[in-house]
Amino acid sequence: MLTLLVMQGPDKGRRFELPDAPALIGRESRQLPLTDNTCSRRHAELFPRGGEWILKDLGSSNGSYVNGVRVENIYTLKLGDQIRVGKTILVFGAQAGIARASNAVVSLSGEEAGMESSIINTVQSNDDSMVLAVPEPAAAAMTNLKLLYQLGAALGSSFTALQVLEVVMDLVFEHVTADRGMILLLDEKKNELVPKVVRVRDEDAERKPSGNGNGSRSGAKSAGDTDAPIPVASDDDEQPAEPPKFHASRTIVSHVLNSGEGVLSSNAMTDQRFSKSKSIHNMGIRSSLCVPIKTRRLDPRGSKPGASPDEVIGVIYIDSSVKNYTYSPDQLRLLSAIGLQAGMAIQNAKLFQQGLAAERLTAIGETTAALSHSIKNILQALRGGADVVEMGLKSTNVTQAQKGWRIVDRNLEKIYNLTMNLLAYSRPREPQLEMINPKVLIEECLELIAPMANEKGVMAVADVDKDHPAVPLDPDGLHQIIMNLLSNALDAVEPGEGLIRVVCRYDGENKQTVIEVEDNGPGIQPSMMSHLFELFHSTKGNRGTGIGLAVTKKIVEEHEGSISVKSAPGEGTTFTVKLPVYHETMSDPSHTHGPAR
């Protein structure tokens, strides 16, 4: 049975086993349910066909992608493929019989079961290792080429080191016979090897005796330390009572780390006890491959003169019982090539994360600057209004105090709306559907802006289809959409001449509610249309925050709806919101959700 592992998104760490029948991916799925609200309710489908698994997009709002390429219709999956739905990335993973031993106890020891490991063959791990010393048979060469191509395609869309390592180990277990496998990376600060990914075939896992507790998992040791287990942290809430144990030769791993060359070894080649008729099955003789993971030094100036520009950051180690399989030098060269690609992919992932961190810092700076300016303007208005109120109270001039209070009240509403919009934009939110008639919400929103409209001499009216039925919509989200659009329209129209019209109708053919907010303002310049929904981009100059329309678009998309704008200079502006209606999808009122307004 194949699996899907969630590598990124709200469900990160979850692992789904695929059934032998078609399975739905989405928020409504029973087989592969996701909580990512950027994923559609019925986002995509997985189904078996002719021994392969097919991914089909079901017309989702944000599309389905495999290895960074959008799936237009269907896609035949391969192990290691990365599927992106919304903000969630899933890895099409290992077959049944291969356990992701996140709780395994890994130890590097000089001897295993009293048998010393010896090196049979080595190969330099560099670009030349991808060219085999002796030409392989055409079929084997094509298989290896296909593996390296698959690996390159999968790694190209892996953006974290852990994603890279998971993909590498899945593909290794798919193409190379192995009972056990692990990838260890070097912790530069502690000079320790840390197990990152461990795979153990279920039938081969050695079990820890019960009652042993966790005493043997007390601390991690590097390849040069004494025989001691290296613990592997688990993401699971409950630890199995008997985690599998994985012994590897410290001698072999140290040799690979220090020399930078791949090693083919066995733990019985020099053991005289096997010169007689003892059973290799009983003695557990193992054949193993261990290759380095190398990256290019980004700043070679700090290295010693004549030193290699590459550095070893970890190892890939796999082994198999000799009774099952014995590795060849060709497979050693293949695994060395995989280690080389893994190193480059890890370095690319680190550079990507560094760039992402730099972008986040830049975004934080831009956000702080934009918000500081908006908040400063509001606070200045509040201070001015408070001063007017104070003067009116001191002079017992009620009219003056009321005038000042209107300024304070108007700016309190601005700071409230700014805060609510920021909260709405910064967090994912699942629409909470209730049976409502949009007419009620529209009238409520018009009442809320009535004082500001009257003060400006603007008329705001509603034109709602009297036959509009009650439909399942999110009242909080819809309220914020209408208020943001009304506030924009109120700011756009001229005092004493403005007209704002809210139109609402039900499109039964397409099963959607359509809401239009029209104004007779000056319109929007064509050059600004493409930036209209960008965060902190405002058409109002210093009077706007540039948040309202970005939040409105986000809420509409969370409803799997659409928003469009029609405008021209001197002809006013019309925003059209289309929200699909799902009568069969109602939210559970027992769920707890944060406030939306």
46, 23 in Cβ contact below 8 A? yes
Max Cα distance, the chain (Å): 113
Q: What is the DSSP letter of 172?
A: H
Domain boundary (92, 110, 130) is at 92
Cα–Cα dist 156/561, whole Å: 32
Angle 445-447-451 from CA coordinates, rounded to 5°: 120
Sign of torsion over alpha carbons 555, 557, 560, 563: positive
Q: Is residue 453 located within the same domain as residue 337?
A: no
| Residues 570 and 523: beta-carbon distance below 8 Å | yes
CA 147 to chain centre: 26
Q: Decide if 471 is inside a domain.
A: yes
Strand-pair category, 459-464 with 206-207 = unpaired
Report the distance separating Cα 69 and Cα 62, nearest Å. Answer: 13
Q: What's the CATH code of the domain at 212?
A: 3.30.450.40
Q: Are 201 and 58 part of one and the same domain?
A: no
Residue 135, class by beta-carbon neighbours within 10 Å (0-12 exposed, 13-18 middle, 19+ buried)? exposed
Residues whose CB is less than 8 angstroms from the CB of residue 106 and which lie 6 or more positions away in sequence, other chains included: 182, 184, 195, 198, 229, 230, 231, 232, 245, 246, 248
Note whether 347 and 461 are same-domain residues: no
What gap in Å lies between CA 442 and CA 507, rounded to an integer? Answer: 17
Q: Considering 307, 324, 357, which residue would you say is the last residue of a domain?
A: 357
Q: How far apart are CA 66 and CA 478, in angstroms?
A: 33
H-helix segments, 156-224: 161-175
Write down which residue in 92, 115, 137 finishes a domain: 92
Tell me the Cα Rg of the chain.
Answer: 32
User: Nearest 5 degrees, angle CA 201-CA 206-CA 210?
Assistant: 135
Angle between helices 138-155 and 329-394 (to 10 degrees): 10
Rounded-to-integer distance, Cα 564 and Cα 559, Å: 15
* Domain contains 222: yes
Is 369 contained in some domain?
no
CATH number at residue 61: 2.60.200.20
Tokens at residue 461, please?
A: 């009216």
Q: What is the CATH number of the domain that holds 549?
A: 3.30.565.10
Q: Is residue 441 part of a domain?
A: yes
Within this chain, do residues 162 and 311 fall inside the same structural domain, yes or no? yes
In a domain, 389, yes or no: no
Per-residue confidence (pLDDT) for residue 370, from 0 to 100: 59
What backbone torsions phi and psi does residue 376 show, to the nearest 5 degrees?
-60, -45
Same domain, 125 and 228: yes
Q: Exposed e or buried b for every residue in 486-501, given b needs 16+ CB within 10 A?
A: bbbbbbbbeeeebbbb
Residue 434: C-alpha distances to residues 31, 232, 437, 473 (Å):
26, 46, 10, 5
Same domain, 26 and 40: yes
CB atoms within 10 A of CB 141: 13
Q: Tell me if 392 sits within 8 A of 407, measured CB to CB.
A: no
What gap in Å lies between CA 244 and CA 107, rounded to an integer? 11
> Among all chains, which residue has been given the structure tokens 């970005």?
550
How far apart (Å, rounded) are the C-alpha atoms in residues 186 and 503?
A: 63
Q: 361: Cβ–Cβ under 8 A, 6 or more apart, which residues?
A: none
Looking at residue 527, what DSSP letter applies? H
| Structural domain contains residue 368 | no
Identify the bridge partners of residue 23 per DSSP, sorted by sequence position: 46
Range of the domain at 443: 428-580
pLDDT at 225: 37
Question: Which tokens sit at 157?
Answer: 């869309």
Q: What is the distance between the alpha carbons of residues 424 and 291, in angstroms, rounded to a whole number?
A: 49
Task: Please give the Cα distance from 61 to 557 (Å, whole number).
Answer: 8
**What burial letters (b/e) apply to 263-282, b meaning 16+ CB within 10 Å?**
bbbbbbeebeeeeeeeeeee
* The pLDDT value given to residue 71: 92
Statement to judge: residues 37 and 122 lie in one domain: no
pLDDT at residue number 220: 33
Q: Would the pTM of this model clear 0.85, i.e. be above it?
A: no
Q: How far is residue 74's CA from residue 58's CA, in Å, rounded to a whole number?
A: 10
Please choose, from the candidates 522, 520, 518, the residue with its C-alpha nearest in 3D space to the C-alpha of residue 565. 518
Residue 221 falls within a domain, yes or no?
yes
Q: Are residues 264 and 325 in the same domain?
A: yes
Question: What residues does 88 pair with on adjacent strands?
Answer: 85
Question: Do 288 and 140 lie in a common domain?
Answer: yes
User: Do 47 and 109 fall within a single domain?
Assistant: no
Q: Convert the pLDDT of each residue in 467-477 to its tens digit.
A: 888 888 888 88
Sheet with 206-207: list strands edge to edge. Answer: 206-207, 244-249, 105-109, 228-231
Same domain, 495 and 543: yes
Which portions of the chain are predicted below pLDDT 50? 96, 111-116, 127-135, 204-241, 268-283, 302, 583-597
Same domain, 315 and 340: yes
**Residue 415, domain member (yes or no):** no
Both tokens assigned to 33? 């349910």
Number of separate domains in the chain: 3
What would the DSSP string read from start to end of 390-431? HHHHHTT-HHHHHHHHHHHHHHHHHHHHHHHHHHHHHS----
